[in-house]
């Protein structure tokens, strides 16, 4: 196993349990956030720890019944959430979307929204939101995004209503790692949300693809690569996801297809597709992932055929394709097999590569060639 660097190890020290209400022994309901000190977070007495555990079990048991799981009834309200040590109140206007939340910019309501909105009429009945320290005058929400949207809809025009909150104990990088652990460990997160969580982990904490694969054994390096590609495509071209019926539920293959389309099309044609997507989204049109890209260029192949006066050959699909990894474990080329006696190495565009990246890519491709000729064991 490859040893991760010091930053990687530090970034993975975050405990997913921190996504539960962070407990700090300060006076509740005083309208002022408690001091964010590690010492304060560790001053709970054994009795307070036992109390917090009992209350957490009560909340979980109450929600599993009240949110309609099991009988499909989403009309009843949630059970009132008990007090949590260390909670404080913030005005609704001081809460904000966290840019590194896996669902940031996506769906605002779950299937239990109706029951959640009924309960939100009495904000004290909802368990506290987990927030970070104040950033630019607002408190980003780490856990409780659906509750926040229910509160905003229920209390529209009443921005001063007090909302129960607890502070996340740790840095923002710790929160990113903890949220990623939670997203990768639950079936409730969609593939695209999990991909976004991985991208946040890489961009904020500087985690390599190899370290991610080691952290989450169920993910191979190839799968991590595809997930990161999909998340990067959504980050770079949000308009191509805005035209979907459920952007955050898009399959990973939708993102990798966008990358393929970007490489295949001339830059002018791809830019025209992006502009058309913006117009389509503005008009309120929405598509399924299998229809979206075709809708943006329905006669592209026919037009290309007409312009070239030739029939465009069908692409040859390899029977097997394996990524070749270069600098920082990024895919730079591909080893493809088309038949028993036809293999090919698909080389990258090096125009945007640094000398270090080109050197790493070349060495990776040479290693594959030496392996093909049985020379990788030779001195």
Does 379 reside within a domain? Answer: no
Do 342 and 265 belong to one domain?
Answer: no
Q: What is the DSSP string of 46-78?
A: HHHHHHHHHHHHHHHHHHHHHT-TTTT---SPP
Do 149 and 67 belong to one domain?
Answer: yes
How far is residue 347's CA from residue 345's CA, in Å, rounded to a whole number?
Answer: 6
Q: What is the pLDDT of residue 180?
A: 92
CA atoms within 13 A on the CB side of 75: 2
Classify residue 348 by its DSSP letter. Answer: P
Do 292 and 333 belong to one domain?
Answer: no
Q: What is the pLDDT of residue 267?
A: 92
Tokens, residue 220: 């191979």
H-helix or E-strand containing 323?
Answer: strand 320-325
Does 10 reside within a domain? Answer: no
How far is residue 165's CA from residue 148's CA, in Å, rounded to a whole number?
Answer: 11
Q: What is the pLDDT of residue 33?
A: 55
Q: Which residues pair with 139 in a beta bridge?
A: 95
How far is residue 223's CA from residue 8's CA, in Å, rounded to a whole number?
Answer: 20
Do 147 and 243 belong to one domain?
Answer: no
Which domain covers residue 252, as residue numbers? 237-315
H-helix or E-strand containing 356?
Answer: helix 355-372
Does 15 reside within a domain? Answer: no
Helix, strand, coil percentages, rounded to 5, for the chain: 50, 10, 40
CB contact at 8 A, 141 and 96 = yes
Does 206 reside within a domain? Answer: no
Q: What is the pLDDT of residue 168?
A: 94
Do 241 and 338 belong to one domain?
Answer: no
How far is residue 237's CA from residue 27's CA, in Å, rounded to a whole number?
Answer: 45
CB contact at 8 A, 33 and 60 = no
Do 354 and 267 belong to one domain?
Answer: no
How far is residue 254's CA from residue 241's CA, in Å, rounded to a whole number?
Answer: 9
Strand order in the sheet with 342-346: 320-325, 331-339, 342-346
Neighbours of 116 (CB within 10 A): 24
Q: What is the pLDDT of residue 306?
A: 42
Do 346 and 255 belong to one domain?
Answer: no
Q: What is the pLDDT of residue 353?
A: 78
Do 77 and 121 belong to one domain?
Answer: yes
- Cβ contacts of residue 236 below 8 Å, gap of 6+? none
Q: What is the mean pLDDT of each run of 10 residues along the chain (379 residues)?
A: 43 45 40 48 48 48 42 47 85 93 76 75 88 94 89 87 92 93 80 92 89 86 92 94 90 94 92 93 91 77 44 65 82 80 81 82 87 73
Q: What is the pLDDT of residue 47?
A: 53
Number of domains present in the structure of the chain: 3
CA atoms within 13 A on the CB side of 373: 7
């Amino acid at each position: 196993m490859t040893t991760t660097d010091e930053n990687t190890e530090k970034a993975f020290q975050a405990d997913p349990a921190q996504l539960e209400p962070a407990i700090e022994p300060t006076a509740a309901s005083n309208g002022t956030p408690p001091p964010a000190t590690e010492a304060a977070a560790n001053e709970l007495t054994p009795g307070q720890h036992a109390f917090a555990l009992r209350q957490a079990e009560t909340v979980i048991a109450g929600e599993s019944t009240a949110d309609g799981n099991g009988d499909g009834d989403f009309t009843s309200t949630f059970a009132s959430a008990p007090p949590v040590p260390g909670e404080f109140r913030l005005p609704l206007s001081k809460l904000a979307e966290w840019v590194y939340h896996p669902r940031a910019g996506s769906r605002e309501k779950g299937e239990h929204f109706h029951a959640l909105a009924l309960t939100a009429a009495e904000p004290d009945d909802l368990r506290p939101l987990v927030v970070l320290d104040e950033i630019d005058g607002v408190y980003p929400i780490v856990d409780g995004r659906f509750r926040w949207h229910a509160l905003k809809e229920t209390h529209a025009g009443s921005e001063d209503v007090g909302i129960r909150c607890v502070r996340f104990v740790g840095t923002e990088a710790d929160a990113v790692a903890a949220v990623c652990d939670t997203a990768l460990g639950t079936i409730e997160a969609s593939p695209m949300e999990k991909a976004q969580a991985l991208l946040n982990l890489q961009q904020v904490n500087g985690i390599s693809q190899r370290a991610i694969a080691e952290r989450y054994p169920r993910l191979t390096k190839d799968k991590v690569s595809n997930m990161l590609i999909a998340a990067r495509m959504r980050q770079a071209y949000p308009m191509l996801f805005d035209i979907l019926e459920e952007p955050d539920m898009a399959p990973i293959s939708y993102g990798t297809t966008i990358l393929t389309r970007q490489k295949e099309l001339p830059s002018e044609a791809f830019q025209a597709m992006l502009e058309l997507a913006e117009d389509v989204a503005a008009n309120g049109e929405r598509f399924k992932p299998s229809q979206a890209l075709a809708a943006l260029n329905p006669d592209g192949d026919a037009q290309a055929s007409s312009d070239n006066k030739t029939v465009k050959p069908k692409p040859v699909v390899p029977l097997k394709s394996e990524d070749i990894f270069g600098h920082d474990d990024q895919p730079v080329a591909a080893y493809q097999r088309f038949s028993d006696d036809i293999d090919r190495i698909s080389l990258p565009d090096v125009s945007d590569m640094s000398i270090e990246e080109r050197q790493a890519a070349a060495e990776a491709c040479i290693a594959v060639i030496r392996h093909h000729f049985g020379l990788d064991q030779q001195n």
